[in-house]
């Protein structure tokens, strides 16, 4: 299924998008990756969605990536005797470990780790930052606070601690169970919530092994500070602007987003920009102009993917939301200013043979009438390096491994095709030509660039580049009988 854009679209599944008919419609409208939110839905519901996605993949013949998003150690208040209270600015309010229902003077926060880390002057944000408290006295089982920004709080509202690194593992007991469940299903990407340090990613890596690629969600100030080390440890990054915008002043988020996207591009690792991209489409069939500009800005920055959350999971117009993203992406990428910005923000190539090969492939494609860059990849590294170059022409990633094709569905510009294992470069060229023609990227009179590594099936061995005509008779005079298709 060929897309008319290079940026990818991630759609979250939920109550509004749980049937075979709707999920297939989302895929046909433009969803390349489906997100399963492990914070919501039963195991049976998640298993059913996974099964449906794989059925649609088989029906359409196009690889589809599945991203399982772990809940993470979400901090929440306890309950209130009256269900909710109103805190006035300047009032004193106590947080403690007492499980009794709260009132206007105190409430339980059943997370002793918070109290162990709090210091006087620390900020506590409740209900997505609508209520702001400042700690004036803290011990290991309570914190006395003064209300700096008042408002209504109620049962189990979220608590954020923006200026303290909490001694919390990124994986709760629930997350560990969900991780095993998701990996057992056969998901392709696993997203870790509330990552604070690279050790959080490394802990998950031990549990996951090679069963899935790991995506670190950047949604805490500590993660921004530790970003380079987290990026090195993870396979991909999600810029989760929701909690990030709660824990940091909102004006900090756009430059952080731009910087993180650029660093991911330079590292050749996929990056998703997420949260509230088309929020109004939960209830409206059309987005606001500001939302469209937000999506467009992320695409101009060169992000690998943009994501829909509640818009496709619980909204009234899930398919329309995907179509809007698809239309915006196609239009932005057709803008001459887009190519200029992408070229201006391109990082210098590395010093390896593979780096030189992919840089040459991009330059050849830009200066000649090349229709596509076809790369053979087993681990996905060659495709990621090609995507790092952000070429103007499509990237056709050919692999014999289904799991590699699925993971690359998240990568900018990659059109994934599953092929047989090969052991001869001429076979690779012929297969690349057939893929380019059958998938609608080139005609018989066109040319493509083919990159591969010899010997075949050795990860990271890209060392050959060829400009190939799309007429098989010119590749293999006398015919290509016996060549695998």
Positions marked active-site: 35, 76, 217, 275
Rounded Cα–Cα distance for residues 258 and 266 (Å): 13
Beta-bridge partner residues of 214:
190
Q: Cα separation of 326 and 315, whole Å?
A: 17
Contacts of 6 (CB under 8 A, 6+ apart): 333, 390, 394, 412, 413
Asked if 299 and 292 count as a contact pair (C-beta separation under 8 A), the reply is: no
**Ordered DSSP codes for 19-49:** SHHHHHHHHHHT--EEEEETTSS-HHHHHHH
Chain centroid to Cα 256, Å, comes to: 16
- Which secondary-structure segment (H or E) carries 243? helix 241-247
CB atoms within 10 A of CB 336: 7
Q: What does the alpha-carbon distance between residue 218 and residue 238 come to, in Å, rounded to a whole number? A: 6
- Is residue 315 within 8 A of residue 322, CB to CB? The reply is no
Rg of the chain's alpha carbons, rounded to an integer? 24
Query: Which SS3 state, helix, strand or coil, does residue 212 take?
Result: coil
């Amino acid at each position: 299924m060929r897309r008319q854009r290079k940026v990818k679209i991630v759609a979250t599944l939920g109550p509004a998008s749980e049937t075979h008919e709707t999920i297939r419609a989302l895929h046909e409208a433009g969803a390349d990756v489906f997100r399963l939110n492990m914070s919501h839905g039963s195991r049976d519901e998640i298993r059913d969605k996974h099964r449906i996605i794989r059925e649609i993949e088989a029906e359409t013949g196009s690889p589809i990536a599945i991203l399982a998003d772990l809940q993470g150690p979400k901090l929440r208040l306890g309950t209130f005797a009256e269900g909710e209270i109103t805190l006035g600015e300047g009032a004193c309010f106590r947080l403690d470990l007492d499980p009794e229902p709260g009132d206007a003077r105190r409430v339980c926060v059943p997370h002793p780790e918070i109290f162990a880390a709090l210091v006087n002057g620390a900020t506590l944000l409740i209900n997505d930052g609508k209520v702001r408290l400042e700690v004036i006295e803290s011990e290991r089982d309570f914190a006395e606070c003064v209300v700096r920004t008042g408002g209504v709080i109620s049962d189990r509202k979220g608590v954020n601690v923006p200026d303290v690194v909490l001694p919390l593992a990124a994986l709760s007991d629930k997350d560990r169970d969900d991780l095993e469940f998701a990996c057992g299903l056969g998901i392709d990407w696993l997203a870790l919530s509330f990552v604070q340090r690279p050790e959080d990613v490394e802990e998950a890596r031990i549990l996951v092994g090679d069963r899935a690629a790991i995506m670190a969600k950047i949604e805490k100030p500590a993660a921004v500070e530790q970003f380079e080390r987290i990026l090195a440890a993870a396979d991909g990054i999600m810029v989760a602007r929701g909690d990030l915008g709660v824990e940091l002043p909102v004006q900090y988020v756009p430059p952080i987003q731009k910087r993180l996207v650029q660093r991911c591009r330079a590292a050749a690792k996929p990056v998703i920009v997420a949260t509230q991209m088309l929020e109004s489409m939960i209830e409206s069939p059309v987005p606001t102009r500001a939302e469209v500009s937000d999506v467009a800005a992320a695409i101009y920055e060169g992000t690998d993917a943009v994501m829909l959350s509640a818009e496709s999971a619980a909204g009234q117009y899930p398919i329309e939301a995907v179509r809007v993203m698809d239309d915006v992406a196609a239009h932005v990428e057709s803008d001459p200013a887009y190519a200029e910005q992408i070229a201006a923000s391109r990082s210098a190539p590395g010093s390896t043979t593979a780096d030189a090969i992919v840089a040459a492939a991009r330059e050849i494609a830009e200066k000649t009438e090349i229709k596509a860059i076809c790369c053979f990849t087993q681990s996905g590294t060659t495709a990621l390096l090609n995507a790092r170059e952000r070429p103007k022409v499509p990237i056709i990633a050919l692999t014999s491994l289904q799991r590699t094709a699925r993971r690359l569905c998240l990568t900018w510009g990659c059109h994934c095709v599953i092929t047989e294992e090969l052991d001869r470069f001429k076979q690779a060229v012929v297969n690349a030509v057939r893929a380019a023609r059958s998938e609608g990227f080139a005609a018989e009179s066109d040319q493509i660039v083919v990159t591969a590594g010899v010997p075949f099936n050795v990860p990271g061995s890209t060392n050959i580049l060829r400009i190939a005509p799309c007429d098989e008779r010119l590749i293999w005079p006398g015919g290509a009988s016996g060549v695998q298709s």
